[in-house]
Each structure stands twice: as C-alpha cells, then as structure tokens.
Amino acid sequence: MGAKEENGDGEMDQTVKKYLRGEAANLEGLQDKKLKGQLAIREELYGKSAKAAAKIEKWLLPSEGGYLEAEGIEKTWRIKQESIAREVDILSLRNQYDIVLPELGPYTLDFTPNGRYMAAAGCKGHLAIVDMKTLSLKKEIQVRETVRDVVYLHNELFFAAAQKKYPYIYNRDGTELHCLKEHGAVSRLQFLKNHFLLASINKFGQLHYQDVTMGEMVGNFRTGSGRTDAMQVNPFNGVVALGHSSGTVTMWKPTSAAPLVKMLCHPGPVSSLAFHPNGHLMATSGKEKKIKIWDLRKFEVIQTLSGHAKTLNFSQKGLLAAGTGSFVQILGDFSGSQNYSRYMSHSIAKGYQVGKVLFRPYEDVLGIGHSMGWSSILIPGSGEPNFDSWVANPFETSKQRREKEVHSLLDKLPPETIMLDPTKVGTVRPARKKEKPTKEEREAEMEAAVEAAKDSDIKRKTKGRNKPSKRAKKRKEIIDRAKRPFLEQQVEEQETFRKKQKTNMETEMPKSLQRFVRQKAT
C-alpha cells in the first residue's frame, strides 16, 4: 500500500511540474522585505493553482494516449497490422476490417465530429451510413449516378453528396431534402461547422458558400484557376484552401471575391492538402513527388519530404497520413520540433488504388477509401484519448443531440468572422494615421493664429517705453511668432518635394548617363 501511495505521489509531482510556471524565484538574496513577502505569496498561489490543475487532470483526463514503441533495432514502420491485432483487446480489434465492393468503388468517406457515424460514398452511386460503435449499417441508398464526394453537416442527421450534376442534401433515412442547383457539377464539398456554411468547388472553378440554416447563398466567386480536386477547411479560422494545377494554394473567405493568400507551393499541380488541428501547419503534396510541411504563421516551408501522396490527412494528435497507389504511410512528429518522420506503413491488396484517407475522431483508427471498397486500420496514438462531452460526445442521447443543436445554432458565427487571424475579432481597430492638411486648411489655420495674435493685449509699460511705434513693433513680432511654425512646415515640405523630384529624375535617367550626375558631398 505504501509503495502504491509513493508511486501516486511521484506521478502527481510530475503532473504538478507540468503546470508550474518554470522554476520558483530565489528569494534568499532579496533585501527588500516588502517585495520578498509579495513574491512569496505569489509563488504560493502558483503552487496551489498547479496542484489544483493536476488534481483536475487526474479526474477529467483519465486516459492517456500512447504510441508504438520499438525495442532495440526494431522499427515501428515495419510492424504490420497482423502483429497489432494479436496484442489489442477485442473492442479495438473490431475496428480492423475490410469491406470489398468492387462494382461500386472507388469510395470516399466522412465521419461525424464525434466519430460515431461514418458516411461512405461509392463513385457508382452507392451511399451508406454506418454506426461505428456497433458496426451496423444504418441506411444505404443507390442514387444511380456518379457521386464524387460526401460530407456530414452539423450532426449525423444530415449529409450532403456531390453527384453528377448537382449536390444533394439527404437525411439519415436516405430521404432527399434539397437539390442545390446553384452549385453546379461539384467536385469537392466541405462544411464549416461553426458558421453552418456548406462550401463547394465545381468543375469550372467556381467557389460557393451556402448557409444551411437559412438556405441563402453567402458567396459565389470565380477562382480563375480552373478545376481543382484539392479542397480543405482550416479548423482554426474557417478559411477554405484550394490547391490548383498551377502549383498554387489559394485561401478564401465568403466575404471577399479575391483570395486572402495566394502562395506557390509546388512547381507542378497540387494533388492534395491537409491542415493540422491547431491550424498553424499545412501539408501539401505535388505531382513532382514531394510532400511539404508549411508554417502558416510565416508562410514558409519547414520540411520537405520525398514521396507522392494522392490524399493527405492529419489526426487529432498531429499524425500525418499520406496515401498513394495501394500504399499508406503515417508520419509522426515525436520530438515536438515539427520534424516529421516515418511512423507506420500499411499496404492494401495489390491493384487497389487509395482514393481517400481519413482519421476517425477520438479513436486510434484510420479509414481508407479505395477503388474496391473501404478499409479500417489501427494507428496507435492518432486519436484524442479524452473527449469533452460539451464539444463532441460519441455516446450522446437524442435529447443531448437536440440540446446541442439548439446551442450550436445560438452560437453560430457570422461569415464576417472568417479571417486569417481570428484573434483580431473583438479587438479595437487602431487609429488611422492623421491625414495631411490641404493648402486651404493650412492657410485658414494660419489666419486664425494671426487673428488671435492681433487680439492679444500688450502690457503697458512706463513713460517713454510705451510709444505707438514700439507698440506696433511689438505686435508685429507677436504676429511673426504665430506665423513661424506654419512657414517652417511649408519650407520643409517644399524641400522634401524637391529632393523626391531630384531622385526621380536620377532614376529616370539612362544607366549609361547616370555616372555623369553630380554626386552628393560626403
């Protein structure tokens, strides 16, 4: 019992260290008693708050995420799914399966925000809703036309499918609710859950934003870069990123007809892109067989990896999945220095072509949509181990779902809040730089100053020093003193204008004659 208590105390001390604000201040060398007392009280408060946070973590964050660990010269990326299956529990083993439907593929997937349900869409018109907890088929329908993409809306009750001519919205019973004809022949769909906006890009390169609560079209823009198959939403700020055939990535918001950012990422077409959950990292892959990791705070490449990826996806814990051909590779940043290296790899049956990889929220599972159906594999350490039931609850009841839907509608953000830096929302706009006064305004100010100087009283002096001539001279001096700042400012402006004109003349002069220009004295 004593050993267990000591072990528990040691774990608690480690957790407390995590929440402490660095090393405690050294108070022994301080001479000022008042300052010493204030700092001692503050250090005590820091210690109490760290202990309280550690206790809360013990109860509210009971599960810990883990990763594969290799022993000796063993490599984690050599460990096969069969080896993992022999070691895991029965419930985890159920998440490892292959669904083969060769007549209806290739398949694309989407999960609900809480990871409970999955929508699978086959290119030949097959739509299926699967409960991932019980692994039971909730509903499947055949729309009898091409389906290019599928995406869930705010919860599992509604989903949108990009079909041959238009995108359609269905409920979970498979009933068609809406046909969005204004969007046209859509190739990719994304849903902005905080703004209730359905974003789509069609085959003509037109970007549409539609509010699914009111049904109105919020934005309709021509990207001017042609058709694209790479589209993703940044979870941090709600900005939609598009990857184009010119190698550029553009970022859009629904209130601007021009892209917020246009960055050249690859020399050839961009095949896929993905955002890290924190919104500060972006991964892009190009046809030149390079995967690049970008820091969006500086818009700089921080790492370039060799290898082609038709599809990319980040997990909740920051693992990056890249799929191409019949091979899926998982990269991890375990050092915390944003340096991704190989973590796991998986090969599906030869001849299968991976179309989409997608991590399941709150589970260590990766869904793979390919040409012959879809598969699910185990990726230890990919999902968030502790869910917040106020944000996403995989076990929510219908009553909780209804309440959450009402709360999310009340908290719905307007489209104007979408911007590159959302921290600016709610801040005060900085004061504008004072504009230069016009010539008329300057003359009026000078006249007002002269009038004020004329009306000023002159002190009466002793006999002989109060002559009219001396009084007039004194008044003239006061008027000149009032005019002086305005005249000095005018002279300065004329001087700067003359210098600017001179430099312009020098730059306009041909290069061959510039050496004859009089040099400034040093």
Which string of DSSP letters, residue by residue, matches 107-159? Answer: EEEEE-TTSSEEEEEETTSEEEEEETTTTEEEEEEE-SS-EEEEEE-SSTTEE
pLDDT digits (tens, 9 = 90+) for 91-149: 889 999 999 998 998 999 999 999 999 999 999 999 999 999 999 999 999 999 999 99
Selected residue with higher pLDDT from 306 and 448: 306
pLDDT digits (tens, 9 = 90+) for 56-92: 777 677 666 778 888 888 889 999 999 999 988 888 8
Element (H, E) at 334: none
Element (H, E) at 427: none
Mean pLDDT score across all residues of the chain:
87
HSE-CB for 430 with a 13 A CA cutoff: 4
**pLDDT mean over 219-234:** 92
pLDDT digits (tens, 9 = 90+) for 384-418: 888 888 888 888 899 999 999 999 999 999 999 99
Q: Give residue 510's pLDDT.
A: 67
Domains of the chain: residue spans and CATH = 76-422 (2.130.10.10)
HSE-CB for 119 with a 13 A CA cutoff: 29
Q: Give residue 2's pLDDT.
A: 45
HSE-CB for 346 with a 13 A CA cutoff: 24
Alpha carbon 390 to its chain's center: 22
Q: Give residue 433's pLDDT.
A: 62
Amino acid at 366: L
**pLDDT mean over 339-354:** 92
Please work out, in degrees rounded to the nearest 5, the angle formed at the alpha carbon of residue 335 by the alpha carbons of 329 and 336.
95
pLDDT digits (tens, 9 = 90+) for 416-440: 999 998 888 777 777 666 666 777 7
Amino acid at 135: L
Amino acid at 164: K
Q: Give residue 62's pLDDT.
A: 67
